Amino acid sequence: MARVCALLSGGKDSNYALYLSMMRGDEVVCILAVKPRRRDSWMFHTAALEAPRLQAEAMGLSHVYREAEVSGVREREVEELKPVLARLKGEAEFDTIVLGGIASRYQLERAKALAGHVGARVYAPLWGVDPENHLLNLVREGFKFIISRAATMGLGPRHVGRVFDEDLAREVIALSRKYGFNPAFEGGEAETLVLSAPHYRRGICVRGKVASLPGEVYELVVYDMRLCGEARVELEPP
């Protein structure tokens, strides 16, 4: 059994990686949410940054939740995390960092460098999975999630804020084949937000609207996000 510190972005992959870590019996002694100040971070999510705190609470793990703010500048943001992780290593005595990466060598290599800096290893259970099967498996295993930010041709405002079911997953897979993007969004084509999962004790309810940003980017603007009995999304009409 490992003592893990999970990097939690709020999205589907970091949540699923943490779930798999818990299912194999690891002890979660640290959850770290990284908040970049820039919107073009190469390493971290930039949408719905308030979500990880609620997710940790939904898991019953708010007592080990921590946040770190970084510049969001490529490479510099990685260096800025080193003292944060060193401090957390001293506090929580973790030996493993949980990463939700699937195919980004950039993210995996830098996560390994960060782990090595504090004498830990990386657990990346999703590395190399088939992205199409992964998207379908998330739905089948009971993860409720939405696209919080879409930034690729083929995904539009109607895809943002919709809770994934198998039909939507298959639609996204078909669009990914047509337009050539990664259906798991590993290349930054979209960001996701998990509202409920098998390891959550409560759901997350979101109220907001879909906004159009420059460059044909569509993002969920959150008015209110809170824990609730059953996860749901309420979108303001366009």
- Give the chain's end-to-end CA distance (angstroms, integer): 49
Determine the Cα–Cα distance for residues 41 and 91; give it in Å rounded to an integer. Answer: 27
* Residues near 53 by beta carbon (within 8 Å), at least 6 away in sequence: 33, 62, 65, 67
Query: Is the pTM here over 0.85, yes or no?
Result: yes
pLDDT tens track for 215-232 = 999 999 999 999 999 999
Which pLDDT value is given to residue 47?
Answer: 54
Q: Of all helices (H) and strands (E), which one includes residue 85?
A: helix 76-92
Determine the Cα–Cα distance for residues 213 and 211; give it in Å rounded to an integer. Answer: 6
Which pLDDT value is given to residue 72?
Answer: 62
pLDDT tens track for 1-47 = 899 999 999 999 999 999 999 999 999 999 999 887 656 665 555 55
pLDDT tens track for 173-203 = 999 999 999 999 988 899 999 999 999 999 9
- Which residues are registered as beta bridge partners of 205? 226, 232
Which pLDDT value is given to residue 196?
Answer: 98
For the chain, what's the residue count?
238
Instruction: Read off the tokens for 1.
Output: 């059994």
Mean pLDDT, range 141-157, rounded to an integer: 96
Amino acid of residue 236: E
Determine the Cα–Cα distance for residues 125 and 137; give it in Å rounded to an integer. Answer: 14
Q: Exposed/middle/buried for 230, CB within 10 Å: 0-12, 13-18, 19+?
A: exposed
**Domains, the chain:** 3-123 (3.40.50.620), 131-235 (3.90.1490.10)
